[in-house]
Amino acid sequence: MEDLANKKILFIICGGISAYKSLETIRLFKKHKAEIKTIITKNAKEFVTPLSISSLSQGKVYEDIFNLENELEMDHIALSRWADVIIVAPATANTISKLSNGSSEDLASTVILASNKQIFIVPAMNVRMWEHQSTKNNLKILKSYGYKLIGPVIGDMACGEFGEGKMSDPLEIFLKISNFLNQQKEKRGVRALVTAGPTNEYIDPVRYITNKSSGKQGYEIARSLYNRGFDTTLISGPTNLSIDKNINLIKVETAEEMFKATQENLPTDIAIFSAAVADFKLNKKKKDKIKKEEMFTINLEKNIDILNYVSNHNSMRPKLVVGFAAETKNLDKNAISKLTNKNCDWIIANDISKKGIGFNSDYNEVIIHYKNNKIPKEKLSFKKKSEISEEIVDRIVAQIN
């Protein structure tokens, strides 16, 4: 296992008898030279002490959002930005419930709500609490926000019962977090380019033709790539979305502007084209607004095919080129045709005729087709676009590794 020197880990210890396991987990991280800061909740102090934590972590232990000393040294925003990763262990049923509802009633929940870093939840609770539908619903919400789970495992519990709900072993927690941090380290310097949103092609100064797109899936993919350590550029058509400030956001409006921005950001290692680029533009845009009573004819010409251009570029073709295909019928047939004709490595296809997915929705369902069928097609079933993006990026990481 590589040393974790210069890696910053924020540990949030919540109330639960498994809190003692967090001490051993902290010890493992310190052994491998990670920098640790800790937040301990009021209930957690019933099981472990701030002194024992600070002795092991050799770092600051934060207890109360209203503590003046804490606020003068580092406020909750700065603390959330300081960390490379945040671990909540043990995460009780109560903690999971509060986080799923966006609670910010104490320092721990406020830091989590304000964070822009990957958050790992390590559940620990009675088997009946773990199996309760409310816990399942709350975890589903947290997963949709991009939180990752470690455990729980099956075993004997302190209450005397047996089943799933036991906190994962400290070594398992350490290995999974270390793997995540080392993946980020490996990807530093690996460039990723994502296009998202629609393009607008003007008829006159106030009217335009476009392709329908919210840009949500592309933004989520860019966010997932950045969170995994990629140097990420997002070229976006007109949307109402925001993105992390560390992602290089380039805003464009027309297909020509998107094409030029793409050219200017080559070469890149990975290119993902999720934008719904308008296929046609006006042969000649009207200088003045066309009045209702005017008779006019629209003459269209094809726009530049950005995906085709990049995928067939001789000297600057990315190592991995991924296209998207939004279809209303013959999903597989049309996706495979696009995969072949555009010379892509992958095509990610979705059926936009289905209700509740695709355009303007937070949900999606896609099928990934791979070049030359080296890997059988894969279906990512109905789920949040943030979850779809995580699964896509998992496969990107596996491919480039």
* Catalytic residue flag (residue 14): no
Rounded CA Rg of the chain: 24
Residues 6+ apart with CB under 8 A from 188: 229, 231
Nearest Cα neighbor of 31 from 64, 60, 9 is 9
What is the torsional sign of CA 141, 363, 371, 265?
negative
Per the residue annotation, which of 77, 78, 158, 159 is the catalytic one?
159
Supply the residues annotated as catalytic: 159
